[in-house]
Amino acid sequence: MNRAKTTFVPTVFVALAACFAAVGQTQSTPAEISIVKALEKIDQQPDRVANYDSLAMAYARRARETSDVAYYQKAEETLKRAFQLAPDDMDAAKVQTWLLLGRHEFAKALEAGTKLNQKVPDDVVVFGYLADANTELGNYPEAVKAVQWMLNMKPGNIPGLTRAAYQRELHGDISGAIELMKRAHDSTPFQELEDRAWILTQIGHLYLVEGNLKDAELYAKGALDLFKGYHYAQGTLAQVRMEQKRYDEAIALLEARFRTAPHAENLYALGEALERAGRHDEALKAFAQFEPMALLESGITDNANHELIAYYIDFAKQPEKALTVAEQELARRRDVFTLGCHAWALAANGDYAAANVEIRKALALGVKDPRILEHARVIEEHLESSVASAATVPVSAN
């Protein structure tokens, strides 16, 4: 994106936008179009396995557009038919692995991806699966290696660039992550609105991590311009508004996001915003709804355990429950965010020394996540003050 040379011609395009407004509102998304096309092909050729692979992929993509996990169910049903037709179909196996990732079954996804990689060692997409699964499990060297393979095999490929950007973010290279995300955006086809909106949202998020609220806002709003009501962009823009202390706008955005994507973690963010805005009663209501929702999915892989831990510590003041959930989650994955949550839970339960060890593991990667950094600061300050107190006690005693 050549921002410096961008010349906006708003007046005429406002007219154009108005002209196409009706079309835009009823226009199908890329995933919806893919679903219709795949269904048509299945109608014409009901025994062709590739048609079912395409439909399953389209459902999975629609799941991202809408954040509606019901599309995963549809995708899985579709894949059953694909495997009936061709039990060893490679493309069906790839979609199945993608679905495992979507359902946050990271260990299973890694196993499936590894098998696919052994079968077809030069498949860029499979390396993407390996990268995702390893990242979520906290196996960062393996994840980086997989992403590097993607980019070596097919330089400049968009999924490789976005994954590389995420690795850079996790390793603390925020400006490097922004550079790659911008390259990915410039190479994304113009009509892929949701893909472009997703990338713009990520750029906005990265600017937010960097503390650059102006650009974070610009990109998040750009994503919303491209894809109306895009739930990821609403979340990022809401974070910007929170930092700007424009709480009511943030809350409105988070409410809209929760309506679109009614997940427990989105409800937690809303409750947190309400609390910070001083709307205590509404926050309590939100949290009252959040806790059972989060507990319901706490035992499965696709959960809101990070938010549940934060809730128990910061709002419910039940640190022992937080530690239980953190340990449960840590048994599944050891990514920096889970390590950070575990550290915070340990600290909340008074074990600052263990908390410090745990959060250092997360920081060792280089992550610049504001929440982890803040928790690390608090833990460190507590330890320093304890040491200082311990050092002064004997003196006082003397």
Site for other proteins in 181-220 (CB under 8 A): 183-184, 186-193, 195, 198-199
Measured from the CB of residue 194, what is the shortest distance to other proteins in angstroms?
8
Measure the CA angle with vertex 175, ends 171 and 181; round to 5°. Answer: 90
> Between residues 5 and 245, which has the closer beta carbon with respect to other proteins?
5
Q: Pick from 46, 87, 156, 350: which binds other proteins (CB under 8 A)?
A: 156
Measured from the CB of residue 151, what is the shortest distance to other proteins in angstroms?
5
Report the interhelical angle of 264-276 vs 280-296 (nearest 10°). Answer: 160
301 touching other proteins, by CB under 8 A = no
Whether the CB-CB separation of 31 and 44 falls below 8 Å is answered with no
Give the dihedral sign, CA 248/250/255/256.
positive
174 touching other proteins, by CB under 8 A = no
Measured from the CB of residue 79, what is the shortest distance to other proteins in angstroms?
14
Measured from the CB of residue 244, what is the shortest distance to other proteins in angstroms?
21
Stretch that binds other proteins, among 6-14, 40-48, 113-121, 347-355 (CB under 8 A): 6-14
Question: Any idea what DSSP says for residue 300?
Answer: S
270 touching other proteins, by CB under 8 A = no
Q: Which positions from 310 through 329 interact with other proteins, judged by CB under 8 A?
A: none
136 touching other proteins, by CB under 8 A = yes
Measured from the CB of residue 187, what is the shortest distance to other proteins in angstroms?
5
Measured from the CB of residue 131, what is the shortest distance to other proteins in angstroms?
9
162 touching other proteins, by CB under 8 A = yes
Run of H or E including 189 = none
Compute, in degrees rounded to 10, the torsion defined by CA atoms 75, 78, 82, 87.
Answer: 70
Q: Pick from 113, 160, 319, 340: which binds other proteins (CB under 8 A)?
A: 160
| Side-chain half-sphere CA neighbours of 218 within 13 A | 8
> Between residues 173 and 249, which has the closer beta carbon with respect to other proteins?
173
Compute, in degrees rounded to 10, the torsion defined by CA atoms 143, 148, 153, 157.
Answer: 90
360 touching other proteins, by CB under 8 A = no
Please give the structure tokens belonging to residue 379. Answer: 């833990």
The CA distance from 264 to 325, in Å, is: 15
272 touching other proteins, by CB under 8 A = no
> Between residues 150 and 379, which has the closer beta carbon with respect to other proteins?
150
Stretch that binds other proteins, among 176-184, 208-216, 243-251, 377-385 (CB under 8 A): 176-184
The CA distance from 345 to 314, in Å, is: 10
Question: Any idea what DSSP says for residue 27?
Answer: P
48 touching other proteins, by CB under 8 A = no
Q: Which positions from 379 through 398 interact with other proteins, judged by CB under 8 A?
A: none
The burial of 367, by beta-carbon neighbours within 10 Å (0-12 exposed, 13-18 middle, 19 or more buried), is given as buried
333 touching other proteins, by CB under 8 A = no
Place of tokens 């006082």: 396
Measured from the CB of residue 389, what is the shortest distance to other proteins in angstroms?
39
> Between residues 51 and 319, which has the closer beta carbon with respect to other proteins?
51
Q: Shortest CA distance to 300 belongs to which of 325, 320, 322, 321?
A: 325
Coil vs helix vs strand at 78: helix
DSSP H stretches of helix in 261-369: 264-276, 280-296, 305-310, 319-330, 336-348, 352-364
Q: Which positions from 24 through 43 interact with other proteins, judged by CB under 8 A?
A: 24, 27, 30-31, 34
226 touching other proteins, by CB under 8 A = yes
